[in-house]
């Protein structure tokens, strides 16, 4: 029996503050690492402004192409938090008050003694038929509709929502990695690295140059789901580096 293809994913980061440079995104790194553990291959990331046309176009393109799409940002109480409305538009669904989201938020604000005002009510809206993603931190939930997971931009809240999403995801073999650095420029190791890739076609092998303490070097990263092949390739890479008169240094994958 043929094994099903590993699920794929895209991440859509939404927010003018990211594109302006005012906010440095911390969500993509977390999502990418978690997806690797789950065996879901992250294939594409886009960053778009808080504009309806940009969000709808990007979302429709990505959800048609990949198994899953994860969005972050734009689901708060202010006027520029328009992601939920845009997701509704992308799916052709009504934008409605989700009864369970309303109950959660009404109870939360009653307990806290704060007003459940019109701005906060915005966070109870989802596309019609959406399922909620629990938010254990600030209670306002994210949501899931078909293969799209809509999460907050605040990193801690996003992580809580992603954790809630995990049980509903189809997973695959975990992607493992090895990273080996050396003070060799890319040009000196390129030939041997290409030959190594040819012998290990099931792995992804990348090279990433750096300058440390004024010295040029390269970090070589091997990634794949076949643990035995990964270890053999790492051994061969280590031998290659030493044959070129340098020392390999293992780094965190």
Q: Looking at residues 35-61, what average pLDDT do you find?
A: 97
> Tens digit of pLDDT for each residue in 107-159?
999 999 999 999 999 999 999 999 999 999 989 999 999 999 999 999 999 99
Residue 2 has pLDDT above 70, yes or no: no
Same structural domain, 162 and 188: no
Q: Which two tokens stand for residue 115?
A: 């007003």
Q: Is residue 1 part of a domain?
A: no
Distance (Å, rounded) from C-alpha 251 to C-alpha 204?
17
Sheet holding 8-14, edge to edge: 41-48, 8-14, 68-72, 148-151, 142-145, 131-133
Residues 210 and 124 in one domain: no
User: How many structural domains comprise the chain?
Assistant: 2
Summary mean pLDDT of the chain: 95
Residue labelled with tokens 């949501």: 143
pLDDT higher than threshold 70 for residue 37: yes
The pLDDT value given to residue 188: 96
Beta carbons of 142 and 136 less than 8 angstroms apart:
no
Q: Is the pLDDT of residue 253 over 80?
A: no
Q: Is the full-model pTM beyond 0.85? A: yes
Residue range 190-202: average pLDDT?
Answer: 97
Q: CA-CA distance, 40 to 170, in Å (whole number)?
A: 8
Mean pLDDT, range 68-72, rounded to an integer: 98
Pick the last residue of a domain from 116, 147, 168: 168
Same domain flag for 194 and 224: yes
Same domain, 16 and 89: yes
User: Residue 212's domain spans which residues?
Assistant: 176-251
Domain boundary among 168, 195, 210: 168
Position 46 pLDDT exceeds 90: yes
Q: Is residue 3 over pLDDT 90?
A: no
């Amino acid at each position: 029996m043929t094994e099903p293809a590993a699920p794929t994913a895209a991440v859509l980061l939404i927010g003018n503050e990211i594109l302006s440079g005012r906010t440095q995104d911390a969500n993509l790194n977390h999502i990418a690492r978690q997806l690797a553990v789950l065996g879901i291959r992250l294939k594409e990331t886009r960053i778009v402004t808080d504009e309806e046309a940009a969000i709808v176009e990007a979302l429709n393109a990505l959800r048609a192409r990949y198994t899953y799409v994860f969005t972050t940002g734009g689901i708060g109480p202010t006027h520029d938090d328009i992601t939920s409305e845009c997701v509704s538009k992308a799916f052709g669904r009504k934008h409605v008050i989700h009864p369970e989201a309303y109950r959660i938020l009404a109870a939360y604000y009653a307990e806290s003694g704060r007003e459940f005002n019109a701005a906060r009510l915005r966070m109870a809206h989802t596309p019609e038929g959406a399922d909620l993603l629990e938010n254990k931190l600030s209670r306002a939930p994210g949501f899931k509709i078909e293969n799209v997971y809509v999460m907050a931009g605040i990193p801690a809240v996003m992580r809580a929502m992603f954790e809630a999403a995990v049980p509903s995801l189809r997973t695959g073999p975990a992607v493992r990695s090895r990273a080996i650095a050396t003070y060799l420029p890319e040009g000196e190791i390129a030939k041997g690295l290409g030959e190594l890739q040819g012998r290990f076609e099931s792995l992804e092998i990348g090279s990433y140059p750096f300058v440390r303490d004024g010295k040029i070097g390269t970090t070589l990263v091997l990634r794949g789901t076949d643990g035995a092949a990964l270890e053999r390739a790492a051994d061969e890479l280590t031998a290659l580096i030493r044959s070129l008169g340098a020392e390999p240094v293992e780094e965190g994958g």
